[in-house]
C-alpha cells in the first residue's frame, strides 16, 4: 500500500512484485482491509501520530517512510529509507556488469576461431584457479573437447583440492611444455606470464586478481588486484553475459572465493562479498561440506607437530620450519596456523621441497607492510616472489640459497630467514 505521492519508477518496481494500492489521502488508509506485505508512506505525511495510527490498524504490516535524507526520530514507528540511494547502488552494479559485458565480447572474439583452447593455471592449482578456469570455459561456450584446463607440474596432492576435483568430476589435466604446441589459443587464469619465467609465450588472454607484474602482454587482460579471488571476476563476467550459473559451477566458484579470502577475512572487498552472496544461494552446500571436510591426511599431522613444537617468535614474527618435505601446500597451511597465535603480526613458514627449492609462505595481519611487496623486494632477484598485502609466497632455488649463506644446514637457513625478516619488517614498521 502506497500513501501519498510516490516516485513513478519506485511504484513500477513494486508493481512487478504483486498488487499495489495507491492512496492520495491518509484517511483512506484506515478503510482498507487485509494484511499488506509493505506500507510505504510519503515523508510529508509521516507525522508521529499518523504512523502510530497505521501501526495500530495494521500491526503485522511493516511501515516504510520514503525519505529524502531525514532520519527517523525517536518514537516513530517506521523505517526511513532513501529509495534513491537503493536504486543508485543497483544502477552502479548494473553499470559494472555492462562494462564487464564488453570484456566478455572481447574474450570471446579473441578465442573465437580456435579449434582447441588451453586454459592454463599455475603449477599448484587451488580452488580459485580451478573454479575460474571452469568459469572461463563456460563463458567461451566450450566443452572438454574444445577447451582443456591444464597446468604444468606434479599431480595435485592437497587433500581439499583432490576432493574438489574428484567429487566434482573436474577434468584437470597435467600437461607438458610440448603439449602446449597442440593448442591454437591460450588463456592464463589466476596467474600471469611472469610466473612462467619466459617459458610460456603467445598468450591470448590473462585473467587474474594478483598485482600486475611486468611483461603481461596478451590480446585481452583483466587484472584486478582489488578483488580477493579470480573467481569473483569470473562470477561477474558470467552474470554480465547473463549465463545461468549451474549448481556445480556455483559451488566451485564459491569455494574458490572462500579459500582465497579465508571466508572473506583476507584481502576481500565488496565485490567478493556480493559474488559470495550470489553464489551461496545457487551452490550445492552439501557437496561443499564434503569437499571442505577433506583437509588433512593422517601422515601430515607429524609434520605439523614437529614444525610447531620447534617454532620461535621474534619481534612479533612467528617462524616455523617444516624441513625437507614433498608436499608444498603444507607450508601455506602452516603459515595460516601461525596467524592464530596471540601477539603475532607476521607468520613465516618455510621448507625445502624435493631437495631443490626453498619455499616460504608469509602471512600478516593486514595492518603492516604488504607481504607480497616485502617478499618481492627481498627475493625476486634470486627466485620467484610476490603476492597480496596479507599473504605471499617465495620460491628460491637451493643453489641460490647456498651462494648467499654457504652451508645450507637447518640452523644456517633458520638464522638467515630470521635475520632477513626481522630486519625488513623493522625497517618498514
Domain of residue 117: give its range.
93-292
pLDDT category at 352 given cuts 50, 70, 90 is very high
81-90, 201-210, 304-313, 316-325: segment of lowest average pLDDT: 81-90
325 with 414, same domain: the answer is yes
What is the value of pTM for the model shown? 0.76
Residue that terminates a domain, selected from 57, 81, 105 = 81
Q: How many whole angstroms separate alpha carbon 270 and alpha carbon 272?
A: 5
71 with 133, same domain: the answer is no
32 with 100, same domain: the answer is no
277 within domain boundaries: yes
On average, the pLDDT of the chain sits at: 90
Backbone conformation region of residue 245, classed left if phi is above 0, alpha if psi is from -120 to 50, else beta: beta
59 with 77, same domain: the answer is yes
108 with 145, same domain: the answer is yes
68 with 132, same domain: the answer is no
Could you give the number of structural domains in the chain?
3
Note the pLDDT tens digit of each residue in 21-79: 889 888 999 988 878 889 999 888 888 889 989 999 998 899 998 877 666 665 567 88
Q: Which residues contact 229 (CB under 8 A, 6 or more apart)?
A: 128, 132, 209, 256, 257, 260, 261, 268, 272
pLDDT of residue 142: 97
175 within domain boundaries: yes
288 with 307, same domain: the answer is no
Note the pLDDT tens digit of each residue in 74-131: 556 788 888 877 777 788 888 999 999 999 999 999 999 999 999 999 998 999 999 9
Q: Which residues contact 366 (CB under 8 A, 6 or more apart)?
A: 266, 267, 389, 390
CATH number at residue 190: 3.90.1640.10
88 within domain boundaries: no
What is the percent of the chain with per-residue pLDDT over 70, rounded to a whole number?
A: 96
Amino acid at each position: 500500500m502506497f500513501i501519498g505521492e510516490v516516485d513513478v519508477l519506485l511504484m513500477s518496481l513494486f508493481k512487478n512484485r504483486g498488487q499495489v494500492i495507491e492512496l492520495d489521502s491518509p484517511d483512506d488508509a484506515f478503510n482498507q482491509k487485509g494484511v499488506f506485505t509493505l506500507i510505504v508512506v510519503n515523508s510529508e505525511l509521516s507525522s508521529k501520530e499518523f504512523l502510530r495510527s497505521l501501526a495500530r490498524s495494521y500491526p503485522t504490516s511493516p511501515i516504510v517512510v520514503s525519505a529524502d535524507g531525514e532520519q527517523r526520530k525517536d518514537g516513530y514507528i517506521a523505517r526511513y529509507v532513501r529509495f534513491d540511494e537503493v536504486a543508485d547502488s543497483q544502477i552502479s552494479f548494473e553499470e559494472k556488469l555492462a562494462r564487464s559485458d564488453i570484456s566478455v565480447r572481447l574474450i570471446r572474439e579473441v578465442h573465437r576461431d580456435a579449434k582447441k583452447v588451453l586454459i592454463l593455471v599455475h603449477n599448484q592449482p587451488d580452488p580459485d584457479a580451478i573454479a575460474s578456469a571452469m568459469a572461463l570455459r563456460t563463458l567461451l561456450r566450450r566443452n572438454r573437447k574444445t577447451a582443456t584446463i591444464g597446468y604444468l607440474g606434479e599431480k595435485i596432492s592437497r587433500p581439499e583440492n583432490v576432493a574438489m576435483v574428484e567429487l566434482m568430476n573436474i577434468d584437470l589435466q597435467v600437461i607438458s611444455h610440448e603439449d602446449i604446441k597442440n593448442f591454437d589459443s591460450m588463456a592464463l587464469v589466476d596467474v600471469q606470464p611472469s610466473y612462467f619465467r619466459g617459458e610460456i609465450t603467445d598468450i591470448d588472454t590473462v585473467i587474474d586478481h594478483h598485482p600486475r607484474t611486468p611483461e603481461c602482454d596478451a590480446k585481452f587482460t583483466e587484472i584486478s588486484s582489488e578483488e580477493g579471488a579470480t573467481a569473483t571476476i569470473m562470477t561477474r563476467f558470467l552474470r554480465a553475459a547473463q549465463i545461468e550459473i549451474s549448481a556445480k559451477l556455483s559451488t566451485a566458484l564459491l569455494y574458490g572465493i572462500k579459500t582465497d579470502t579465508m571466508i572473506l577475512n583476507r584481502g576481500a572487498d565488496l565485490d567478493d562479498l556480493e559474488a559470495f552472496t550470489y553464489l551461496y544461494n545457487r551452490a550445492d552446500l552439501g557437496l561443499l561440506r564434503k569437499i571442505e571436510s577433506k583437509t588433512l591426511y593422517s601422515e601430515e599431522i607429524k609434520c605439523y607437530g614437529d614444525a610447531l613444537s620447534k617454532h620461535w617468535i621474534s619481534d612479533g614474527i612467528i617462524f616455523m620450519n617444516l624441513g625437507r618435505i614433498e608436499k608444498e601446500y603444507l607450508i601455506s597451511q602452516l603459515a595460516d596456523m601461525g596467524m592464530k597465535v596471540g601477539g603475532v603480526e607476521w607468520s613465516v613458514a618455510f621448507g625445502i621441497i624435493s631437495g631443490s627449492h626453498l619455499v616460504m609462505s608469509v602471512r600478516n595481519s593486514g595492518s603492516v607492510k604488504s607481504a607480497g611487496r616485502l617478499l618481492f623486494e627481498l627475493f625476486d632477484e634470486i627466485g620467484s616472489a610476490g603476492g597480496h598485502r596479507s599473504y605471499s609466497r617465495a620460491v628460491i632455488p637451493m643453489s641460490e640459497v647456498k651462494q648467499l649463506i654457504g652451508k645450507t644446514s637447518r640452523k644456517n637457513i633458520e638464522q638467515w630467514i630470521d635475520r632477513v625478516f626481522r630486519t625488513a619488517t623493522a625497517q618498514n614498521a
